[in-house]
Structure 1
Amino acid sequence: LDFSIVVVSVVVLALDALLPSVQWLKGLRVLRALKPLRTLTRSPGMMLVFRSVTLSLASMANVSIVVGLFFLIFAIMGVQLFGGRFWTCNDISVANKAACTGYFDDSGVLTERVWTNPYQNYDNVGKAILSLFIAVTLNGYSPAMYAAMAAPSNKDDQPKATSNGIIGFLFYAAFIVICAFCLLNLYVGVIFSEFSKIRLLSTAGSAFLTTKQQEWTALAKMVFRLKPLQRNNPPTNRIRLSCYRAVHTKTFNYVITTVIVVNIIILASTVYNESTAFTNAKEACNYGFTAIFIVEAAIKITGLGWRSYWRNGWNKFDFFLILMAIVDIGFTVIAAHGSQKLLRLLRIARIIKLIKGFKGLKALLTTLIISLPAFYNVGALLMLVFFMYSYVAVLLFGTIQPQAAITNHANFSNFGRAALTMFRVSTGDDWVYIMQQCGVRPPNGCGNPILSALFFCSFTVIITMILLNLFTAVVLENFEIQEEQAEWTLTPAALEEFQELWAEYDDGSGTIAPEQLQTLLIRTDPPLGLGRMATGRDVLRFVFNLDIPLVNGRVPFHRTVYELVRNVSETQIPE
């Protein structure tokens, strides 16, 4: 890849230097946009995503053939039904093309009658395919659909609203349902399949492991990542012990969750131009909520101790919000309105505290966090493609003056504006009109309709239909992994429960006494442990089959977990 890019760059520079006056050679400058692809060889994550896309091309080619056949079928149908029937006169009172001559009064302005054809039409198969491509993106196709519904029976007649309503509507409805809703989603399936296969190759070493083998390799990695929880002994002081017990009750969590919900409701009650009394009441409530959260933190710090309190990530987040709330109140007192507005925005962050109280929300947040590294790789490749297209857009359309869809906010006069415009195109916001304006030929413009169509349609295919769907593939894959883990013989939740039970016997060294192992195995539910119905003989027989060496006369954490997992899930892995 590096060698090819270097060769292309040298050829472009040589031709540009030897033949500077040849206009068509200047078009080769767009090949300079390939240089950023060299970053792929320096980023394993981006290369993984790029490989998944390139290896998906063969499968996507099959899908593309099916989609192309339907495009061709509907394009031919469109030419037969609507070819030459979208032409219209700017004076809607005339009956046909022959009458579309002279001038007419357009709201007090004398205007010449013009017989024109809209940008989206079905005069030939090429135009029909472009119009259908616009329709499949579900943006900017409504004018063409309305034109199809108004198409006259005879060519050169003035279109009339709903004169062909049923046929025009059914044509577009059938195409959108078949191609946009059904066939295009096959691309998502193909990309997801290849992406999952390549990630499995990179993590497990083979994409052809059985479910049992995948379970064993994944659990073995989890075991080595596990760490014994640091023991948090109950304090001996009566006041601290009371706080310690209060923090570990469900009632305490329910009360704090209720306070957070009420706080959110009051925050959401803000309206424009509200009365001063209502604003003051909300501020008083905010002081009360801040006081409650300060008391919550004080109880936790008293009961758990500062080190144990600060060890928890949620507690750090709570403490940060409390500090910002105190600063917010301080600015309110001294009436520093500029900084106060900024700090008040942090009150919204209290909503995040609800997540820790609901397991379902925590699972979703965990899935999102697990997906972040893959999001970074996909996002980096996405930005790379954005950079390349923005650079090419400046070369191709940088001289187009603001007119119609090309405005002071959406243009290609410089790289920054081009990047913002391409981002807008990627969202599908009126991208059709930008493409249309970039295709206007001289003297009305300085664009090229063929280059414009190829540029924007290829960008839509690569970004919207392929790369953006990789984000969906990442999330689906992580959800699929969690569902597969829930069906394992030994689930990750069982390891977490064992980790918590171990902490009750651990003296802080990551080991427990040999006699405590028997109690631990009985308290641990099968299949990882024995359960409460096991006898002493069952424990001895079970431990005899494990290879757990003692360290200074005590049982180590990691070796114990590994042996227990191996006893349940070990299987033969192919070399």
Structure 2
Amino acid sequence: MTNLFKGKFFYCVGEDLNNIVNKSDCLSANYHWERKEYNFDSLLQAMLTLFVMYTKDGWVNIMYDGLDAVGVDQQPIKNYNKWILLYFLSFMMMSFVLLDMFIGVMVQTFHQCQLIQTQEDEELRNEEHLSGSQGTEGESPEREQTPSFEGSWMWYLLYKICTSRALELSVTVIVIINVLLMGVEHYNQPEVINKVIDCFNYVFMIIMITEVLLKLVVLGVVTFIKDCWNLLDIIIILLSIVSMALTQLRMTNVIPFNPSILRACRILRLSQVLKAKTLRILLKTINKTLSQVWNICLLSLVIIFIFGVLGVELFGELECSPDYPCLGLHRNSNFHNVPMAMLTLYKVCTGDNWSGILKDTMRKCRPDDAKCQSFLFWVSPLYFSSFVIIAQFMLAYIVIASIMQALKDSEEEAETELRRQQIFPSAEGNAEISTLDQTDNRSTPSDSISL
């Protein structure tokens, strides 16, 4: 690209450019003949331009500059060379492939390091607990005790209803309908809609309370509380009751928030779909990666702090003015102090116009600017390129690698749990059936009526 585009990324800056064809016309009209910040005039500048395109930030503008390029000392013409699009589009397609390869290398390296660390930890545990591990061999996993139904067959029926998947799906459908009704509310809605929504809210509340009370009676308080999903149901019901009570008591003007907001907490009941196998695995994956992501975030914070302090020393005196405007730096994004520099670098991590910030730090010094440092034209690309590679690429892909490893571990645990349930299902089922048979043999008409 250096041989193809060198000297062609210049343009004339002036008021009337209709009659400007080349550099001579521009200078004769007392205009300025300037060069694009990202160009291909040398190998280093071409590598920097291609790196900016590789990060997907500002690559469209560079492509348009190449599309408009005419020749050396020639004024650009819009869409002059359309065939050059093949180069830029093919490079961007290749950058996606290289990015995927980079991610693959990072993930594979992370998995290898984690595997070596796991083997070392396993060997250390085996050495320390060799005698204890031998004593625990052959023990069968503890099975959950099934409740006995010595009162009546009706207890067994209620137990099956409370623990059935159909009840969960029915309540989920009711919650979805309730959410849709909440979405019907709008500004200046008729009073009829308010009454209909209130009636449905009361009906839904009665159904949810009945479900919870039924589970409390059949399962027992201790068994009911052991399940965290049941505790979530209780919290949602309490919040809904408080919301209705505050609304009926007309406390809207007294409390600092609208009590109807608490009704939106019913949406949390939809989290019961997390009981599905696949979603439960994903939930475990998130739980496992929180510690690793926290460590990576802490490492990222340290790196951002180090680069922020260095950025204040290098770019702390850069100023923008109406006659010398900036493309990326402004009052909310600069290097005047360490906190603002860290915020600016965090934006660079997200890929938000970091190429514009790089342009501002590579500006040529004005004759009357004594604070300007001419070496920034060479230091700035090294500073931002190294930061983008470390923070935007390596650390972000380490997070992806840790999530993939945690997902693999969660799937293996789910398969192990499934195999354990397949090994010990018959004993629990036989125990439940025998208990039910004994109950039916001992039951009398009076027993079957009384609960």
Alpha-carbon distance in structure 2 between the residues aligned to 1:323 and 1:129:
62
Deviation at 1:369, TM superposition (A): 2.4
Question: Which of 322, 330, 337 pairs up with 1:414?
Answer: 337
Amino acid at match of 2:303: V
In the alignment, what sits opposite 1:265?
A: 180
| 1:241-270 CA-partner distances (Å, limit 9, x unpaired) | 554232122321221122233234344556
Task: Say whether the 8 Å CA contact 1:260–1:353 is kept in structure 2.
Answer: no
- Aligned twin of 2:43: 125
Give 1:249's match in structure 2, choosing from 159, 164, 168.
164
Partner of 2:271: 352
What are the equivalent positions in structure 2 for 1:151-230 lying under 5 Å apart?
151-152=69-70, 154-167=71-84, 169-178=85-94, 180-205=95-120, 228-229=143-144
Give the paired residue count.
Answer: 404
Does the aligned pair in 2 maintain the 1:400–1:446 contact within 8 Å? yes
Cα 1:158–1:360 change in 2 (3 A) is: same
Asked if 1:399 is matched to 2:306, the reply is no
Question: What amino acid is aligned across from residue 275 of structure 1 in structure 2?
Answer: Q
User: 2:388 & 2:426 partners in 1: Cα distance?
Assistant: 53
Residue 89 of structure 1 aligns to a residue in which SS?
strand
Whether contact under 8 Å (2:12, 2:31) holds in the other structure is yes
Identity of aligned residues (%): 25
Give the drift of 1:506: 9.3
Offset from partner CA, 1:333-392 (integer Å, 9 cap, x none): 321563237635534433323322x33322322332233333233233223222322232
1:180-237 CA-to-partner distances (Å, cap 9, x unmatched) read 21122222112211211222222233999xxxxxxxxxxx999999654355444737
Question: Does the aligned pair in 2 maintain the 1:121–1:127 contact within 8 Å?
Answer: yes
Change (3 A) 1:222 1:238: same
Shift of 1:411: 1.6
The 2-side partners of 1:258 and 1:223 are apart by 45
Q: Which residue of 2 aligns with 1:477?
A: 405
Residue in structure 2 matched with residue 495 of structure 1 by the alignment? 420
Q: Which has the higher contact order (CA 8 A, sep 6+)?
A: 2
Shift of 1:397: 2.2
Cα separation, partners in 2 of 1:125 and 1:287, compared to 1, 3 Å: farther
- Residue by residue over 1:423-482, the C-alpha shift from the partner in whole angstroms, topping out at 9 and shown as x without a partner, is 111110111111211232433684622222111111110112111011211222233445
Counterpart AA for 1:398:
G
2:27 and 2:10 mapped to 1: Cα distance? 14
The 1:499/1:128 distance shift into structure 2, 3 A limit, reads: same
Distance 1:279 1:459, change over 3 A: farther
CA, structure 1 residues 449+225, in 2 after alignment: closer, same or farther (shift >3 Å)? farther
Deviations 1:137-193 (A, max 9, x none): 0111211110101110x31111111111211x1111121112x21122222112211
Deviations 1:118-154 (A, max 9, x none): 11111111111110000000111211110101110x3
Within the alignment, does 1:433 sit opposite 2:356 as a pair?
A: yes
Alignment match of 2:26 (pick from 93, 97, 100): 100
Structure 2 residue identity aligned to 1:410: S
Q: Distance in 2 between matches of 1:88 and 1:321?
A: 64
Look up the match of 2:2.
79
Is the Cα contact below 8 Å between 1:148 and 1:165 reproduced in 2?
no
SS at match of 1:338: coil
Q: 1:351 to 1:193 in 2, by over 3 A?
A: same
SS in 1 for 2:23: coil
Equivalence for 2:132: none
Unpaired runs of 5+ in structure 2?
Answer: 124-134, 433-451
| Residues 521-540 of structure 1 mapped to structure 2, 5 A cutoff | none
Correspondence for 1:424:
347
Whole-angstrom CA distance in 2 between matches of 1:263 and 1:188: 43
Determine if contact 1:436/1:449 at 8 Å carries over to the other structure. no
CA–CA separation in structure 1 for the residues paired with 2:176 and 2:286: 23
- For 1:310, the equivalent position in structure 2 comes to 225
Contact 1:393 1:412 in 2 (8 A): yes
> What is the rounded CA distance, in whole Å, between the counterparts of 1:224 and 1:197 in structure 2?
33
- In structure 2, relative to structure 1, the CA distance for the partners of 1:332 and 1:449 (3 Å cut) is farther
* Contact 1:411–1:418 (8 Å) recurs in 2: yes
Alpha-carbon RMSD across the aligned residues, in angstroms, is: 3.5
**Kindly tell me: are residues 407 and 370 of structure 1, through their superposed partners in 2, closer, same or farther at Cα, counting changes over 3 Å?**
same
Give the 5 Å matches for 1:14-33.
none
3-state DSSP class of the match of 1:416? helix
- In structure 2, the residue matched to 1:328 is 243
Whichever residue aligns with residue 169 of structure 2, its letter is Y
TM normalised by structure 1 equals 0.63
CA distance in 1 between counterparts of 2:290 and 2:401 reads 13
Partner of 1:139: 57
Question: Do the aligned partners of 2:5 and 2:40 also contact (CA within 8 Å) in 1?
Answer: yes
In 1, are the aligned partners of 2:172 and 2:269 still within 8 Å (CA)? Answer: no
* Equivalent position of 1:52 in the other structure: none
What is the DSSP-based 3-state SS (H/G/I as helix, E as strand, rest coil) of the residue aligned with 2:26? coil
Give yes or no for contact 1:410–1:417 (8 Å, CA) kept in 2: yes
8 Å contact 1:235–1:241 — kept in the other structure? no
Maintained 8 Å contact 1:229/1:499: no
Match of 1:453 in 2: 381
Whole-angstrom distance in 2 between the partners of 1:225 and 1:163: 77
The DSSP-based 3-state class of the residue aligned with 2:77 is: coil
Moved more, 197-206 or 460-469: 197-206
TM, length-normalised to structure 2: 0.78
Secondary structure (helix, strand or coil) at the match of 1:138 reads coil
Equivalent residue for 1:275? 189
Q: Is the 8 A contact 1:242 1:303 kept in 2?
A: no
